[in-house]
Amino acid sequence: MVDIAVIPGDGVGKEIIPQVCEMLYSVDQSLNFVYYDISSKRYLDKGVTVTDEEINDLNGYKSIFFGAIGDFRVKPGIMEQGVILKLRKELDLYMNIRPAISFREITGNEINITILRENMEDFYSGIAGTLPGTKKFKKQDDIYDYNIDISGTSDNTIYYTLGMLSERNLNRFFKKAFEIADSDIITVTDKANAVEMYSLWRDIAGRYSTKMGKKINFEYADSLAYNIIKNPSKYRYIIAPNLYGDIISDMTSSLAGGLGYAPSGNIGDKTSMFEPVHGSAPDIAGKDIANPVASILSSIMMLKHIGMNETAAIIEKSLKNIINNGIIPIESGGSYTTSGFIKQIVARATLMNNEL
Ligand code: NAI
Ligand code: MG
């Protein structure tokens, strides 16, 4: 038995994820899905985002399959910080992989760019406050040991967020990034020309690329954004700090067919979490029209990550095969509903499984 924790979440996540799990089970009955009700609905009913017990539980799985979190009835930030950012931090998921790989039948082009995004630090440090005011930050764990004392004196209100990068986190991040990037075309991006902390980013990128025999190109994030749109075929792997990686990966996913085709993996040394890049899409939830491909691609990444390569290959081939045969989701102008599209994969995969 291979246990996988499943957090369907809200909106289209709740709609798509259980159907994708059933699809996976139809191909491989060794999979066992354990569901966790971490959702905005539960927060509205009971006032809890994620409990310590759940974090403890989730830390025991090799992989977690996540849908999306977000509901307009909850104030922005509560679920995003209380669930998504918290899971990344507490489960130590320091590498975010976001492939943007197009299907020619859908986009007419061939985009093959994977963003490797630092997932813990930068401007997502969570160290924030206002001045005037007095705030002390203390933290001590494997990575950090800091004590920051900021106090305000002026009557001019200032909001701040500290961007930070640590050598220890970047060491493991770049090592993992160069293990993943199996290509000669690797771009490392930042704004080292304007933001001081990225000099550390550059140093460590340079050190690990040399050590691991990888050729890299540095490109500033603004120039990179410009050039990706102008000439996307110039890029294959892009290694980015947290904030720029977030923005650039939405851009590349739009080139590769849209949010409905963008999968992701949050990788740690112990546990990893796989999820579509899109959110809960409340505007289309409950109508059976959401594109399930991003979740299906995320599940394929998950299976490969835990070494279930045969099962992954069957799903991947089935997905390509049905799209080649004109089975296109509603999002891309086709006629296939969420459930209709998934049924087609199950049918195709069952045929393949029987042929093996
Ligand atoms: P969103 O990704 O949910 O939707 C953006 C647009 O893309 C919408 O028009 C939606 O209909 C469309 N879309 C998204 N997924 C689709 C799919 N599978 N098929 C077809 N169309 C799709 O982003 P939005 O609207 O900014 O956020 C909605 C909620 O989701 C918010 O509460 C937000 O905080 C949350 N969110 C959660 C994320 C997560 O759980 N990782 C990521 C992004 C947003
Ligand atoms: Mg984003």
Q: Whose CA is nearest to atom 12 of ligand 1?
A: 281
pLDDT of residue 85: 86
pTM above 0.95, yes or no: no
CA distance 301 to 296: 9
Q: Which atom of ligand 1 is nearest to the CA of 330?
A: 20
pLDDT of residue 155: 75
pLDDT of residue 326: 94
Domains in the chain: ranges and CATH: 1-94+265-356 (3.40.718.10), 112-125+163-255 (3.40.50), 128-162 (no CATH)
> What is the Å distance from ligand 1's center to 185 Cα?
31
Neighbours of 354 (CB within 10 A): 7
pLDDT digits (tens, 9 = 90+) for 200-235: 999 999 999 999 999 999 999 999 999 999 999 999
Question: Which of 74, 259, 332, 341 is the best mutation target for the ligand 1 pocket, counting ligand atoms within 8 Å of the beta carbon and taking the most?
Answer: 259
Q: Whose CA is nearest to atom 44 of ligand 1?
A: 279
CA distance 254 to 100: 8
pLDDT of residue 356: 66
Q: Which atom of ligand 1 is nearest to the CA of 16?
A: 18
* 290: amino acid identity, one letter: A
CA distance 241 to 221: 10
> What is the Å distance from ligand 2's center to 177 Cα?
20
DSSP string, 271-299: -EEEEESS---TTTTTTT-S--HHHHHHH
CB contact set of 194 (below 8 Å; sequence gap of 6+): none
Cβ(244)–Cβ(194) below 8 Å: no
Q: Whose CA is nearest to atom 37 of ligand 1?
A: 279
pLDDT of residue 56: 96
**Torsion angle of C-alpha atoms 188, 190, 196, 200, degrees rounded to 10:** -20
pLDDT of residue 338: 98
pLDDT of residue 180: 96
pLDDT of residue 61: 97
Ligand 1 cavity residues, CB under 6 Å: 12, 68-70, 80, 84, 259-260, 275, 278-284, 290-291, 294, 331
Segments of the chain with pLDDT less than 50: none
CA distance 103 to 92: 32
